Structure 1
Amino acid sequence: MLSAGRLGAVLRGTRAPSSSTVARRCLRVSASRPAADESERPAEPPHAFDRALLEFLVCPLSKKPLRYEASTNELINDELGIAYPVIDGIPNMIPQAARMMAHQNKKQEDTEQH
């Protein structure tokens, strides 16, 4: 077991990498890994929503899966009738940022079910 003085000396001797060093390492690693299906994927705008995230994202309120609506650039929870905005490719999943959807969608679903 290290004494407090010895532990302090060991810790003082180690230095955490600077944030620029960490950023360079991350960039180097991400640049060296080509996407598995890069040739199959069509060119996307730089800040497009990655639909693969839908596999992992759920509504923070209901914990149910969401669907992406490209025309409005939103993630939709049909069950609750709310839409979360996607800004620069990043979903804003804060419930206060969501908008209530029009009741027409619910009426439309009801007529489809009957």
Structure 2
Amino acid sequence: MLSGARGRLASALRASGVGRRCLHATGSRPSADRSERAGQPPSAFDPALLEFLVCPLSKKPLRYEASTNELINEELGIAYPIIDGIPNMIPQAARMTHQDKKQEETEQH
């Protein structure tokens, strides 16, 4: 079972191009690859990754919110940002969503 999940995760990562971006961060990216992406917008988050990602705090599934480009944990009321198609799952980088809703309600009244 674990090997099957590992294979699906590897396929999803390859499809989203995460491997190429990781190589770029280390400086090992071929120059031809740089020129083909020049002028293109940053890649979007691949929702197929939601099958494998969970909140690092609660270990519960996350919901992708395209309008804010975040992964949302409804239970805890936190949102993890997605930067260049890569979720930043560090709890300190998350934003509180429940407080935002409470502020909106108070402003409307």
| Percent of residue pairs bearing the same amino acid type | 79
In the superposition, the TM-score normalised over structure 1's length comes to 0.51
User: Which residue of 1 is the match for residue 63 of structure 2?
Assistant: 67
- 1:102 equivalent among 91, 98, 105: 98
| Structure 2, unpaired ranges of 5+ | 1-22, 34-40, 103-109
User: Which residue of 2 is the match for residue 89 of structure 1?
Assistant: 85
User: Which residue of 1 is the match for residue 53 of structure 2?
Assistant: 57
* Higher CA-based Rg: 1
After the TM superposition, list the runs of 4 or more consecutive aligned residues in structure 1 that deviate by more than 6 angstroms: none
SS of aligned partner of 1:61:
coil
State the number of aligned residues: 67
SS of aligned partner of 2:68:
coil
| Structure 1, unpaired ranges of 5+ | 1-18, 28-44, 106-114
Task: From the two aligned structures, give the one with the greater helix fraction.
Answer: 2
Greater RCO between the two (CA within 8 Å, min separation 6)?
2
Q: CA RMSD in A?
A: 2.7
